[in-house]
Structure 1
Amino acid sequence: MQRLARLRRSLEELFPERHLYVRAGGEMKAFVLSTKKQMVAAGVVAGAALWLGISTAAMLVGVFSASSADREIARTQAKYERWIADRQARLNSAVAQLNAADGSTEELAVAIEKRHAALALLLTDVKGTPGAAEALTPAISRALAATDANPTRRVEMVRISQEQLLDAADTFAKSRADRLRLAFRLAGLSPSTYMPKGGSLGGPLIESKDPRALAAVLDVDEAFAERIQHAASDMSEARALSEAAQRLPFAKPTANTPKTSGFGVRYDPFTRRPAYHSGLDFAGGTMTPVYSTAPGVVSFTGVRSGYGNTVEVDHGRGFKTRYAHLHSIGVRAGQRVAVGQRLGGMGSTGRSTGTHLHYEVWVNGRAQNPDRFVRAGQYVLQQAG
């Protein structure tokens, strides 16, 4: 009781009763600002300041996150420009050698044949990779179009074409691997976590860490063997990350639907107070298809408190996605689903103010921002296209 009394006296000292006099139209009006009224007003001001602070912090986090990704993209682009300049310098050197060539056509032909075998191994790894055909076609077309009346020059032109083809394959491999790494970082994931353990990527071209050993195996010069090895290593990393990306929830759960609410603190539509929102909301009509964002196993179907009709999919490695407020459910628990497979139809069940999908991404028991995964998926699709 004494503590309450002391607290009350402290509040009265902090917010003493005040009298406000207002003169209007020749009349004097008096207003009494009691301690209670002042405390309520101070609480409202403090709440508004807190909400403004939280909103500003969330906005700054989003801005800094976007600027960080932009800087990463700029660094990657600058790296590609340096690679292109380096490749052009090597090509100019090869052309200079061509102009001064006085060696044996037979010796050149043998060297080119050995390089061709090494390139064939590399291009076997590249074959079937999305975007590879488009990246390598210009170099192949230039090689086929090269003609010269002098036999020595024709053979040397083939060697230069091999250099160009290797440059194109190397640049493509580095570009794809780096862009996939950036997509993982956009999702807040560490790319190294999804690489094979022990750094072993497999493939005959990168089993040996020493380029000299690979040069001896392929019977080509060491510089060419080292470039082959680098391209094969980057392609193997890109393949590992691409395969990992296909198992992660990078797809969008609905098609052609606007996002109506984001992840984080927002005004609750029922209480009109700041509240934590653990997912993304997508608006649409009743029974708009809802799709699985990654392959996995349906771990739950049914009604969850507040979520209404819900489907949950376990994607392995600690990843889980949740699809809530559904009008109907088209899968059953234990069923294996593929990416893009229909899980149900959009609805307004549970704690919902209208037809929409509430979508969540969980990693090791913690809710993540699904927007980062959606953005990463869009980036992967752009690069694949």
Structure 2
Amino acid sequence: MKEAIWGTAQRWFPDRQIYHRSDGQVRYFAISTTLQVSALFAATVLAGWLCFTTVSVAFHGRAIAAKETQIEEERVQASRLIAEAQASEATAISLVESQSAEFDRTAVEFQLRHETLRQLVEFAEQLSGSIMEPSPELDDGRVLMAATPADPTPREARDSLVSLASLSEDPEDQINYLMGEQDLVLAQAEDATETRLENLRAVLRLTGLNIEDVVASGRDTDEQGGPYEPIVMDASFGPGLELNHQFSSRINRIAARMLEVNELERFSMEGPFGEPIAVPHRRTSGFGVRLDPFNGRPTQHRGMDFGAYRRAPIVATGPGEVVYAGWRGGYGRTVEIDHGYGFRTRYAHLHEIAVRRGDTVERGQQIGGMGSTGRSTATHLHYEIWFNGSAIDPDRLLRAGRYVQ
């Protein structure tokens, strides 16, 4: 087999000689069959290697390209996942910040409500006033006090608020519970204020005067001042934060009622509502037209007459300043007191006078003794009340005074 192959190789590649002539010299090179076969084999191996490497490089480039494509896809997928994770993180952070801001807003509003209620309570404690019977009546038994108006703000039951606070430990539920407690306190303050206000109005209506005009007269004459500090704080702790509108409106309404109560109570304390005689007495003549005791002709009687014993203590019917103390024509010895709010009282026919002009007197303070000086038929007190320059029936204020005292 080897000999056959070798024979074939010798036939295809016989020994050859290559002659080379140069400078008259002839040289030759012998190329044997073995050398030719070896050269062919080497050339074949080299060609095969070149083909193999070429094919390998071609296929490897495709693999590299495919790998790069896969890597790029994976990179894009990773970028998308990262972007989604970042978006989820941003959403979570935004939600936490939003909830935190809402909680802070609720907490600050609670603080505002608490501070407002504190000011309201302090303001209520400053209100002065005497104790009055709750339902003044006329002689025929009719009740004068109007019913308390219905509260336009619905109130949540206390039991539901307590159960909410006991079952939940959520801070927001606790704050809602505390706000509910504040609403209950506010409701009690509102009811008490409305009841007190309606009671005062009912009592003062007995005077037959326009109470708004009376209070306005008191504002004009009082010497008051100071910086303006509103009880309701509409200013916010943070941008755009204000008290709940319903709560703020309710506070304003109650504060206005309290101011009105304060004014009416001041008037009830400072107005001439007391009895002018400090001992048991009787009424001898009323206000209005009567027959003159001296000439028997009809005359206008601008006051009321009270009878008692000589030198019975005559007292001021309200706090004020003595603007006249002395003899005044037919009135005899007379004392006049300015009570503010446009009111003046006159006490006439006194036996003696115990005060001087410019003195400040309190309700119930003795200003003289009953007598019969001036144009008088017997020992008695002539008592007048003047409002803004006009005489009014003293019985109106005496009747209201039964509930004010």
TM-score, normalised on structure 2? Answer: 0.54
Which of 232, 237, 243 is the matching residue for 1:220?
Answer: 243
| Contact 1:321/1:362, CA 8 A, preserved across alignment | yes
| Contact 2:236/2:242, CA 8 A, preserved across alignment | no
CA distance 1:316–1:226, shift in 2 (3 Å): closer
User: How many residue pairs are counted as aligned between the two chains?
Assistant: 265
Which of 328, 342, 356 is the matching residue for 1:332?
Answer: 356
Aligned partner of 1:333: which letter? Answer: R
Question: In the alignment, what sits opposite 1:367?
Answer: 391
Deviations 1:120-164 (A, max 9, x none): 1111110143579999xxxxxx99xx7975355876654443222
| Contact 1:126/1:132, CA 8 A, preserved across alignment | no
Question: In the alignment, what sits opposite 1:344?
Answer: 368
- Does residue 129 of the first structure (1) align with residue 146 of the second (2)? no
Which of 231, 244, 252 is the matching residue for 2:275?
Answer: 252
Question: In the alignment, what sits opposite 2:255?
Answer: 232
CA distance 1:125–1:324, shift in 2 (3 Å): same
CA distance 1:213–1:371, shift in 2 (3 Å): farther
| Contact 1:327/1:348, CA 8 A, preserved across alignment | yes
When the two chains are superposed, the root-mean-square deviation of aligned CA atoms in Å is 4.1
Which of 162, 169, 174 is the matching residue for 2:182?
Answer: 162
Deviations 1:289-329 (A, max 9, x none): 11112333322222333322221223346432110121221
Question: In the alignment, what sits opposite 2:324?
Answer: 300
- Does residue 172 of the first structure (1) align with residue 192 of the second (2)? yes
TM superposition shift of 1:214: 12
CA distance 1:281–1:216, shift in 2 (3 Å): farther
Deviations 1:143-186 (A, max 9, x none): 9xx79753558766544432222112112223333444444443
| Between 216-225 and 351-360, the greater mean CA deviation after superposition | 216-225
CA distance in 2, matches of 1:230, 1:179: 18
Question: In the alignment, what sits opposite 1:118?
Answer: 116
CA distance 1:378–1:372, shift in 2 (3 Å): same
Bigger radius of gyration among the two: 2
CA distance in 2, matches of 1:215, 1:362: 55
Question: In the alignment, what sits opposite 1:242?
Answer: 265
Question: In the alignment, what sits opposite 2:313?
Answer: 289
Which of 190, 194, 213 is the matching residue for 2:210?
Answer: 190
**SS of corresponding position for 1:355:** coil
**SS of corresponding position for 1:344:** strand
CA distance in 2, matches of 1:131, 1:317: 17
5+ residue gaps, structure 1 = 1-103, 136-141
| Contact 2:108/2:237, CA 8 A, preserved across alignment | no
**SS of corresponding position for 1:220:** coil
CA distance in 1, matches of 2:401, 2:323: 23
CA distance in 2, matches of 1:185, 1:175: 15
CA distance 1:333–1:117, shift in 2 (3 Å): closer
5+ residue gaps, structure 2 = 1-101, 135-157
Aligned partner of 2:398: which letter? Answer: V
Aligned partner of 1:150: which letter? Answer: L
**SS of corresponding position for 1:360:** strand
| Contact 1:215/1:221, CA 8 A, preserved across alignment | no
**SS of corresponding position for 1:176:** helix
Deviations 1:202-257 (A, max 9, x none): 65135x8xx79899999532211111111011111222333344443222212343
CA distance in 1, matches of 2:238, 2:256: 15
**SS of corresponding position for 2:330:** coil
**SS of corresponding position for 1:281:** strand
TM-score, normalised on structure 1? Answer: 0.56
TM superposition shift of 1:279: 0.6
**SS of corresponding position for 2:249:** helix
| Contact 1:184/1:190, CA 8 A, preserved across alignment | no
TM superposition shift of 1:343: 0.4
| Between 226-235 and 146-155, the greater mean CA deviation after superposition | 146-155
TM superposition shift of 1:273: 4.4
